[in-house]
Amino acid sequence: MTQPAQEKPKTFEEIARTIVEPTAPPAVEVIDETDDDEDIPKEEVAAIPDWVQMPAGMIQPLGWQVYFLRFRSKWTNRPGLGDRHCVLWNLSEADEKLAAKRARGDANRIIDEMSKQMVRAFDGQRVDWTRGPASNIEKFWDEIGGKCRHLVRSYYLKTHVLEAKDMADFFDSCVAVRTHTG
């Protein structure tokens, strides 16, 4: 994808300043989880990689981590389109329900649908689910090919499961079992 000649905004604050009037408020659940980023300088948290083209009016959910993935053109099914990228953040409960509904009870499709649901924007455009199987995310999903789809799936799994040390902490310190003997 070709990049515009003008300098792109580098932070969410810069993007927000370019918005004249958003057409509709984003349907984003806002949760404040800032304690995870307390040792990272604020300007680093809000920085957007220079290879990302953010859609106008796109707002990150407050306190959530936003992930940017770039796919080299040679890894995709359509290398002639150039490098591709997408913007992701974790799923809310509503997101999970929408993805599960699209999977229609097919266990083989659930990870794909959850992974696609994480994608909020790609190549400078917002994901549009309104056209069902003809939606832009379905076209993007096909064009990036199996290698890159695997990367998105892997990222979904990595970001929605506790790390081993956190799992150990959970079972060691966060679970209590008692037997009622009457």
- Residue 99 phi, psi dihedral angles, 5° rounding: -65, -40
- The single residue listed with the structure tokens 């499961």 is 161
Q: Which two tokens stand for residue 91?
A: 């799923």
Q: Identify whether the C-beta of residue 89 lies closer than 8 Å to the C-beta of residue 54.
A: no
**pLDDT of 31 higher than 80:** no
Q: Which two tokens stand for residue 56?
A: 């106008």
By the 10 Å C-beta count (0-12 exposed, 13-18 middle, 19+ buried), 110 is classed as middle
The 10s digit of each residue's pLDDT in 147-170 is: 999 999 999 999 999 999 999 999
Q: What is the pTM of this model?
A: 0.69
